[in-house]
Chain A
Amino acid sequence: DAKTTQPNSMESNEEEPVHLPCNHSTISGTDYIHWYRQLPSQGPEYVIHGLTSNVNNRMASLAIAEDRKSSTLILHRATLRDAAVYYCILRGNAGNMLTFGGGTRLMVKP
Chain B
Amino acid sequence: KAGVTQTPRYLIKTRGQQVTLSCSPISGHRSVSWYQQTPGQGLQFLFEYFSETQRNKGNFPGRFSGRQFSNSRSEMNVSTLELGDSALYLCASSRPQTSGILIDTQYFGPGTRLTVL
Chain B interface helix/strand/loop/mixed: strand
Kindly list chain B residues whose C-beta atoms are within 8 Å of the C-beta of A98.
Answer: 33, 35, 43, 45, 92, 106
Kindly list chain A residues whose C-beta atoms are within 8 Å of the C-beta of B48.
Answer: 95-97
Number of B residues with CB within 8 Å of any CB on chain A: 28
Q: Of residues 75 to 100 in A, which have CB atoms within 8 Å of B's CB atoms? A: 87, 91-93, 95-100
Chain A residue nearest to B45 in the complex (CB)? A97
Kindly list chain A residues whose C-beta atoms are within 8 Å of the C-beta of B109.
Answer: 43
A95 pairs with B103, CB closer than 8 A? no
Question: Cα distance A43–B4 when bound, in Å?
Answer: 10
B66 interface residue per 8 A CB criterion: no
Number of A residues with CB within 8 Å of any CB on chain B: 24
Kindly list chain A residues whose C-beta atoms are within 8 Å of the C-beta of B56.
Answer: 95-97
The verdict on A99 contacting B101 (CB below 8 Å), with A42-B110, A43-B92, A43-B111 known, is no
A-B contact pairs, 10 of them (CB 8 A): A43-B4, A49-B103, A49-B105, A95-B102, A96-B50, A96-B104, A96-B106, A97-B48, A98-B33, A98-B106
User: What are the 7 A-B residue pairs with the smallest beta carbon separation, nearest first?
Assistant: A43-B108, A100-B43, A96-B102, A95-B56, A97-B45, A46-B105, A96-B96
